[in-house]
Amino acid sequence: MSYAPARPSACPACDAAPAAEALAARAPLPGARLLLSVPAVHCAACISSIERDLAQMDGVNSARLNLTLKRLSVDARAGIAAQDVIARLDRLGYEAHEMDAGTLSMTETEKQGRDLLMRVGVSGFAMMNVMLLSVAVWAGAEGATRDLFHLISALIAIPTVAFAGQPFFRNAWRALRAGRMDMDGPISFAIILTLFISLYESLLSGKHAYFEAVVMLIFFLLVGRYLDFRARAVARSAAQELAALEVPRAIRVSGGAEATVSVADLAVGDVVLVRPGGRVPVDGVVVAGQSEIDRALLTGETLPVFAAEGHVVSAGEVNLTGPLQVRVTAAGKDSSLHRMADLVANAESARLRYTTIAERAAAAYAPTIPIVSLAAFVIWYWISGGDLRLSMNIAVASLIITCPCALGLAVPAVVTSASGKLFRKGLLIKDGTALERLAEVDTVIFDKTGTLTLGTPAPTNLDQHGPEVLAVALALSEGSSHPLAQALARALRDRGLVPAALDGVSEVAGYGIEAQWQGARVRLGRAAWVGATPRSVTAAYLAIGAQTHAFTFADQLRPGAAEVVAALQAQGKAVKLMSGDVPAAVGDLAARLGIADWQAEALPQDKAAAITALHEAGHKVLMVGDGLNDTVALSVAHVSISPASALDAARAASDMVLLGRDLSPVADALHLSKTAMRRIRENLWQSGIYNIIFVPIALFGFATPLWAAFVMSISSITVTLNALRLK
């Protein structure tokens, strides 16, 4: 996890100004392979339109889309940067994020997945072959034929168990050394004991051998293990790759010379240069330059703040318009960014380790396996008057029947089914236990900027201005990289307006943009600078000669925000809004969405404290947020969701990541998690009932290998079918 300043793409405001870092990142790599996450792809048309379009792109050799992972791999010539491909995909209508370039080769998780899948395959084929021989025995093969079949089964089963059973043996050994008892201990014990007894029986031409049951047990448990692994690993690796970590760098100015250094090497008193579009790397005081800074990710304020000599800036803020020289007052461990990171670390260690329903079931069930078979052994030894072979056979039969075949599948099958459904809707589950925790939520807290809203302003009163005024505004705003100017230019362009012809356009850093139009001076910028009276809402001001106009802005609602709030309230959840922004903006949004309970000007600590208070009152809180100011709250909350556009620290602290722009999967997720938990409970009951019925049969000595095989397969199949019922 990194709390380093995120790369510019993580912040909406930086997209407006091509950052110095972004330009540096374009440095050509020879024959680059790019990996992009494209969350919205879902169909055959998506594949062919994306692959065909990128194949025509200059410098791209080939592109291949993986629909399962929603990941695009582009084989490009040197000089093609991810930004170029992202821009091209954007024109096609697909949102894309760059992933870590370190994943060019096969990742560690993929290797593990293939390894598990290979063990599943080996045990599956062994199971089929051993089963063929066993069916012949059950059908009535006698004497030498039966012994031969048993021995051939042993020949297949023993190497299979040695290879495919390794994950269980390793886990059991690890648990044993640590003095713990988990499910893998009894499983490994049952596998090895059954294998030895069966081999012994076959050599003595005994009637029953359980080779097919052993191999089948390994196969079903491995399938459960693989599903479990895939559900978690795919999500985890994607989330990690989205949060491509960046080495924090700063430009140090000493004696007129600029040098790029690591932030860790900066000392208090150094002067660093922050270019427009760049992130402030340290806490400090501005010593030269004028600009505006965007503090949205730190505080949730939508409106940029003016900064000039003597102003204090904090690490993580984004410089918007002019270059700033900042004298370092705190760097590295002492900076405000790092203090925030410490708060998150504390919250995470304080969060109690959550025990899942699968762990609780396993903990309750694991000891019964050896106890039942030991009891069977002792009792039959006593009844039969010391017949070791008979009592051993019955002990093994009850051991193999109690082994939790269905229990191993019960939870992973449902979780896989549910997370696959959510992934298709655009919600990535990062934490294996998140679905379970989500089902318990009764209160939902939203952040405002960047979560319920997109964090990008849109002009609201364009209709109040004449076409000439708009033409001048368009011409001026196109010359600036300020977010308000960019939003204005985009909105006016969309209306099909043509910019007015201007002369001598120049940007005055920190104030606005100025030019000459038909002999008059025109200015677009701050109220005081253009000579207008400031309004209470976010606005940009235009002066044509002495006449002034105000363009007001409102933050755009994220698509699906209104629906989510309505759906959550309909589900009976308490919905709250907590933001660091000013009361006017927060209250306005709360009224639009119908949220009665809202709080403005909340500090990061306030949000976390509110959540802790709710937890103490017995509520379970879902936190949805995106900013640095939300990270503490996200890690304190019972379960948390952040959008893909969030800062990497926020994404790292949250349990689920919303891949698309749309917020509506949040409500679906809450609903689905409840259904999923119901299915899990049903599955646990089902596998329990099979045991209640068949364990007595085994204990009375009636169980045969045929019974064991029958119970195991039928319980595993019913459990899987029940999981697939999930809608």
Partner 1 sequence: MEVLAVLIPVSLFLGFLGLGAFLWSLRKGMYDDPDGDSQRILDPRYDDKPKPVTPEEEGR
Catalytic hit among 228, 283, 294, 447: 447
CA separation for the pair 222, 213 (Å, rounded): 14
* Shorter beta-carbon distance to partner 1: residue 114 or 535: 114
Query: Please, what is the minimum distance in Å from the beta carbon of residue 47 to partner 1?
Result: 6
Ranges of beta strands (E only) in 405-463 are: 427-429, 443-446, 453-459
CB of 96 to partner 1, least distance (A): 16
- For partner 1, the binding residues (CB under 8 A) are 33, 43-44, 47-48, 52, 61-62, 64-69, 73, 75, 114, 117-118, 121-122, 125, 128-129, 132, 145, 148, 152, 156
The CB-of-565 to partner 1 minimum distance in angstroms stands at 32
Q: In whole angstroms, what is the distance from residue 612 CA to residue 137 CA? A: 63
Q: Are 691 and 589 spatial neighbours (Cβ–Cβ below 8 Å)? A: no
Long-range contacts of 501-505 (CB under 8 A, 24+ apart): 501/475, 502/472, 502/475, 502/476, 505/475, 505/476, 505/479
Secondary structure letter of residue 105 according to DSSP: S
Question: Which H/E stretch holds residue 545?
Answer: none
648 is catalytic: no
Residue 226 or 551 having the CB closest to partner 1: 226
CB count in 10 Å sphere of residue 349: 8
Q: How far is the CB of 56 from partner 1 (least distance, A)?
A: 13
Closer by beta carbon to partner 1, 143 or else 310:
143
Return phi, psi of residue 555, to 5°.
-70, 140
Bridge partners (DSSP) listed for residue 318 = 279, 294
**Min. distance of Cβ 435 from partner 1 in angstroms?**
21
Q: Which two tokens stand for residue 587?
A: 């209250």
Q: What burial letters (b/e) apply to 441-474, b meaning 16+ CB within 10 Å?
A: bebbbbbbbbbbbbbbbebeebeebeeebbbbbb
DSSP string, 282-332: SEEEEEE--EEEE-HHHH---S-EEE-TT-EE-TT-EE-SS-EEEEEEE-G
Q: Tell me how far, at minimum, the Cβ of 221 lies from partner 1, in Å.
A: 19
* Side-chain half-sphere CA neighbours of 454 within 13 A: 17
If the CB atoms of residues 29 and 557 are measured against partner 1, the closer one turns out to be 29
Task: Find the farthest-apart pair of alpha carbons in the chain and give their distance in angstroms, rounded.
Answer: 117
Nearer to partner 1 by Cβ, of 149 and 541: the residue is 149
Q: Are 447 and 561 in contact (CB under 8 A)?
A: no
Least distance between partner 1 and beta carbon 720 (Å): 17
DSSP tally for the chain: helices H, then strands E: 26, 26
Nearer to partner 1, 47 or 288 (CB): 47
**Nearest to partner 1 of 360, 424 (CB atom):** 424
Closest to partner 1 by CB, 44 or 352:
44
Residue type, 339: R
3-state helix, strand, coil in the chain (%, to 5): 55, 20, 30
Closest by CA to 551, choosing from 504, 481, 455, 486, is 486
Can you give the C-alpha Rg of the chain in angstroms? 32
* Nearest distance from C-beta of residue 208 to partner 1, angstroms: 21
Tell me the catalytic residues.
447
